[in-house]
């Protein structure tokens, strides 16, 4: 008995659900307004929202005549307002911001019926709703332009309904300091380039002069190849191969020699010799001949080559906030922090800032570009620098960060005037990290000359010579070079050569007690 064929699927709710299929392409934030808005019917409204969202994300705004919703007299006013604000430019490739714009449209035009209930005619009600929408986005577009100017792109909080969390920050005094420091960065393009080159996450085509590796290079070369040939030399005494006719008297057969003793046959012998038909032994020898040929070959050759430079990795920034940094040096240090945050946000890189002063005065900050991170950045850039200087604490905190997997390819930046000194233990840990992990320590010198402490902890120092003018004094450094310490006091640095040539205190004391002098041979110690 065969089983009955399965019946067709139920179509009871399919037709009703098909009307709302457009909701699958819209975010949930648009569902309630799209379903309950007072203007138009549900199906055209949902379809129009999906089409308008796609156009905004593509960076275009269709003419209001092509809108299937809202009604033409409302769509005309909205299209003019959006075109005047150039909202399509902000929404290009920004789906979250486009959703926020559509939510705002649904919110404002839903008040049209309320304005009519309060006594306004339909034209006035539409104008009031459109004006409220335009006023709301005019302030917001100005703030987004300011944020894009500071951070290079619009932060995520500015694209969503959480905009009110960040709007208050943009009216604070701390934010005004952020804007002022942003203007300062336009006068320091080299600082922006330095920050960009930090990190070791991606290999570039640029050579790294600080590192050199030996590689096998395949190159063309000329080689001399020896070729051995065996050459047969006829008639050279060697091996007797047989008998042949020739005119060699020394190798003729005895039977031919007998003809010479006969008075008439001797003439026959002379005739045969002249015709070279004497029967003679056939001898020859073989010689080894060596011929040398030049030919082109591919040969691997070891050559030292600069290693490829790495960049685009995480950044650890130690910024000096001591009292000696007040004035122009303080402004440059804040600019370095802001540029690090801008670069990290634009290139999706991790950035952590250590603000340090005297012993125990360390504030570490993660500065994402959102409402919370912008608030921390504004508070940091708005505060004044004061106190002493202790660089060991922040360096140890940065080294501890490097032990985490996320920060293992990070580079360290130290922004300071150089008025500090690291202990030998901290300097040795930095050298170990450079040798074993490839850590690079970039110094930003905001002062007149480098110090012993700065030279010992930094691989390279970027010198901001005209730091005074950023504090209101338009003057350059009074020194022609920042390398005075390395030039006049080379023995003061803890270089490897200086450490090898330095005698410890215990060894010196033992030598004095033993009466030894400079140049005396060292005593041999028994095992």
Q: What are the pLDDT digits (tens) for 33-88?
A: 888 888 888 888 888 888 898 998 898 988 888 888 888 888 898 999 999 988 88
Confidence of residue 396 (pLDDT cuts 50, 70, 90): very high
The percent of residues above 70 in pLDDT, for the chain, comes to: 77
The percent of residues above 90 in pLDDT, for the chain, comes to: 6
Amino acid 504: pLDDT? 59
Q: How much is the average pLDDT of 477-502?
A: 58
For 19-33, 315-329, 485-499, which range has the lowest pLDDT when averaged over its residues? 485-499
124-161 burial, b at 16+ Cβ within 10 Å, e below that, comes to: ebbebbbebbbeebeebeebbebbeebbeebbbbbbee
Q: Which domains does the chain carry? A: 20-171 (no CATH), 216-293 (no CATH), 313-511 (3.40.50.410)
Confidence of residue 280 (pLDDT cuts 50, 70, 90): very high
Q: How much is the average pLDDT of 266-279?
A: 91
C-alpha dist (Å) from residue 320 to 46, 75, 275, 463, 485: 56, 56, 113, 15, 21
Q: At 201, phi and psi to the nearest 5?
A: -95, -30
Beta-carbon contacts of residue 391 (< 8 Å; ≥ 6 apart)? 318, 320, 356, 414, 416, 420, 421, 422, 426, 453, 457
Q: At 281, phi and psi to the nearest 5?
A: -70, 135
- Tell which residue, 266, 273, 283, 274, has the closest CA to residue 249: 273
Q: At 366, phi and psi to the nearest 5?
A: -95, 130
Mean predicted lDDT score pLDDT of the chain: 79
Beta-carbon contacts of residue 355 (< 8 Å; ≥ 6 apart)? 319, 321, 362, 363, 364, 365, 380
Is residue 415 within 8 Å of residue 319, measured between CB atoms? Answer: yes
pLDDT higher than threshold 60 for residue 453? yes
- At 103, list the tokens: 């939510």
Amino acid 279: pLDDT? 92
For 13-17, 170-174, 280-284, 442-446, which range has the lowest pLDDT when averaged over its residues? 13-17
In the block, residue with structure tokens 């500090």: 420
Q: How much is the average pLDDT of 246-266?
A: 88
Q: What are the pLDDT digits (tens) for 350-387?
A: 888 998 888 888 888 887 777 677 778 888 877 776 77
Q: What are the pLDDT digits (tens) for 299-311?
A: 777 766 665 555 6
- Tell which residue, 58, 44, 16, 49, has the closest CA to residue 30: 49
Between residues 121 and 238, which one has the greater pLDDT?
A: 121
Is residue 194 within 8 Å of residue 402, measured between CB atoms? Answer: no
Amino acid 2: pLDDT? 43
In the block, residue with structure tokens 């801008």: 342
pLDDT higher than threshold 70 for residue 488? no
Q: What are the pLDDT digits (tens) for 317-342?
A: 999 888 888 888 888 888 888 888 88
| Pairing between β-strand 202-246 and β-strand 411-416 as defined by DSSP bridges | unpaired
Torsion of CA 5, 11, 17, 18, to 10 degrees: 90
Q: What is the pTM of this model?
A: 0.60
**Helix 72-85, helix 122-151: angle, nearest 10:** 20
pLDDT higher than threshold 70 for residue 32? yes
pLDDT higher than threshold 60 for residue 474? no
Is residue 268 within 8 Å of residue 259, measured between CB atoms? Answer: yes
Q: What are the pLDDT digits (tens) for 129-157?
A: 999 999 888 888 888 887 777 777 666 65
Amino acid 128: pLDDT? 92
Beta-carbon contacts of residue 315 (< 8 Å; ≥ 6 apart)? 195, 198, 199, 340, 343, 344, 349, 350, 351, 352, 410, 411, 413
Confidence of residue 424 (pLDDT cuts 50, 70, 90): confident
Confidence of residue 291 (pLDDT cuts 50, 70, 90): confident
Between residues 451 and 425, which one has the greater pLDDT?
A: 425
Q: What are the pLDDT digits (tens) for 84-127?
A: 988 888 888 888 888 888 888 999 998 998 988 888 888 899 89
Strands (E), 448-513: 460-463
Amino acid 455: pLDDT? 85
Long-range CB pairs of 270-276, under 8 A, 24+ apart, other chains included: 273/247, 273/249, 274/247, 276/245, 276/246, 276/247
């Amino acid at each position: 008995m065969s089983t009955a064929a399965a019946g067709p699927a139920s179509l009871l709710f399919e037709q009703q659900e098909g009307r709302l299929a457009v909701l699958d392409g819209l975010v949930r934030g648009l569902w309630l307004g799209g379903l309950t808005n007072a203007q138009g019917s549900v199906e055209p409204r949902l379809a129009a929202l999906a089409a308008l969202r796609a156009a905004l994300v593509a960076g275009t705004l269709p003419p209001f005549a092509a809108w299937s919703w809202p009604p033409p007299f409302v769509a005309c006013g909205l299209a003019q307002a959006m075109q005047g604000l150039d909202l399509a430019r902000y929404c290009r490739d920004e789906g979250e911001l486009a959703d926020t714009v559509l939510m705002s449209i649904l919110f404002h035009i839903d008040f049209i019926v309320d304005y009519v209930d309060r006594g306004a005619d339909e034209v006035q009600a539409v104008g009031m709703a459109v004006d409220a929408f335009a006023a709301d986005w005019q302030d917001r577009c100005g703030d987004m332009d300011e944020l894009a100017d500071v951070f290079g792109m619009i932060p995520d909080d500015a694209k969503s309904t959480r905009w009110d969390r960040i709007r208050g920050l943009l009216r604070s005094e701390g934010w005004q300091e952020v804007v002022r420091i942003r203007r300062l960065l336009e006068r320091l393009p080299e600082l922006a380039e330095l920050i960009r080159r930090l990190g070791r996450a991606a290999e570039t085509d640029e050579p790294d002069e600080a590192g050199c590796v030996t590689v096998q290079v395949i190159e063309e070369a000329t080689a001399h190849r020896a070729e051995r040939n065996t050459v047969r030399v006829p008639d050279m005494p060697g091996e007797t191969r047989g008998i042949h006719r020739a005119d060699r008297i020394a190798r003729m057969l005895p039977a031919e020699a007998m003809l010479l003793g006969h008075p008439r046959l001797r003439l026959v012998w002379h005739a045969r010799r002249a015709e070279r038909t004497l029967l003679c032994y056939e001898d020859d020898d073989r010689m080894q001949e060596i011929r040398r040929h030049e030919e082109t070959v591919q040969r691997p050759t070891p050559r030292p080559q600069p290693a490829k430079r790495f960049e685009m990795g995480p950044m650890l920034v130690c910024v000096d906030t001591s009292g000696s940094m007040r004035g122009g040096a303080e402004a440059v240090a804040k600019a370095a922090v802001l540029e690090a945050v801008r670069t990290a946000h634009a290139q999706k890189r991790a950035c952590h800032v250590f603000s340090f002063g005297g012993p125990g005065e360390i504030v570490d900050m993660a500065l994402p570009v959102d409402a919370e991170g912008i608030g921390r950045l504004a508070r940091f850039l708005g505060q004044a620098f004061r106190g002493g200087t202790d660089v060991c604490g922040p360096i140890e905190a940065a080294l501890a960060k490097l032990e985490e997997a996320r920060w293992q390819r990070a580079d360290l930046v130290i922004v300071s005037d150089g008025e500090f000194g690291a202990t030998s233990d901290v300097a040795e840990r930095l050298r170990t990290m450079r040798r074993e992990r490839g850590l690079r320590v970039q110094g930003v010198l905001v002062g007149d000359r480098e110090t012993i402490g700065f030279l010992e902890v930094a691989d390279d120092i970027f010198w901001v010579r005209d730091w005074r003018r950023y504090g209101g004094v338009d003057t350059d450094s009074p020194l022609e070079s920042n390398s005075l310490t390395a030039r006049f006091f080379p023995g003061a640095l803890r270089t490897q050569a200086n450490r090898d040539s330095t005698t410890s205190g215990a060894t010196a004391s033992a030598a004095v007690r033993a009466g030894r002098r400079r140049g005396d041979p060292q005593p041999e110690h028994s095992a």
